[in-house]
Amino acid sequence: MKTSIKTFQDVNSLHDLRTYTGAVKKSGKPDLPTTAILDLYMRRNEKDRLTGELKRARKRRVQLQTRLEDVEKEMNKLLAKATQTAVKIRGAAEGGSGRSSNVGGKKKGKIVLGY
């Protein structure tokens, strides 16, 4: 028998819009003509709340996109700066030859990094 483990996204929670719908009637009273006004009022409140939430979500999406673009620009600047620094360091240590040289009369050894 195959069982799958549910993640937090699979479980209904407060963040799921379906928990707010109010589709289940919680009253044992029969529908009266006067309760239609109250139901209409409640649905209007829910519509206003959802509309406001949608506006906030759109605004948040724009903010996230702008921040992603800013981070990308910062990463490009830092990469360029790191590349320039690496060229300066390698150029000074290697003497521009592309191979390791003897600096101070000592031969440089290779460093092996293992994981």
In this model, does residue 62 exceed pLDDT 90? yes
Per residue in 39-55, pLDDT tens? 899 999 999 999 999 99
Average the pLDDT over 87-98 and give the result. 66
**9: three-class secondary structure by DSSP:** coil
Query: Which of the four pLDDT bands, split at 50, 70 and 90, describes residue 88?
Result: confident
CA distance 54 to 61: 10
Residue 100, judged by CB atoms within 10 A of its CB (0-12, 13-18, 19+), counts as middle
In this model, does residue 22 exceed pLDDT 60? no
**62: three-class secondary structure by DSSP:** helix
pLDDT at 39: 86
Contact yes or no for 45/22 (Cβ under 8 A): no
Query: Which of the four pLDDT bands, split at 50, 70 and 90, describes residue 35?
Result: confident
Task: State the CB neighbour count (10 A cutoff) for residue 29.
Answer: 7
Average the pLDDT over 81-104 and give the result. 68
Question: What residues does each domain of the chain span?
Answer: 17-93
CA distance 21 to 49: 11
Report DSSP state, residue 29: S
pLDDT at 45: 95
CA distance 42 to 26: 14
pLDDT at 76: 95
Least confident of 7-11, 53-57, 85-89: 7-11
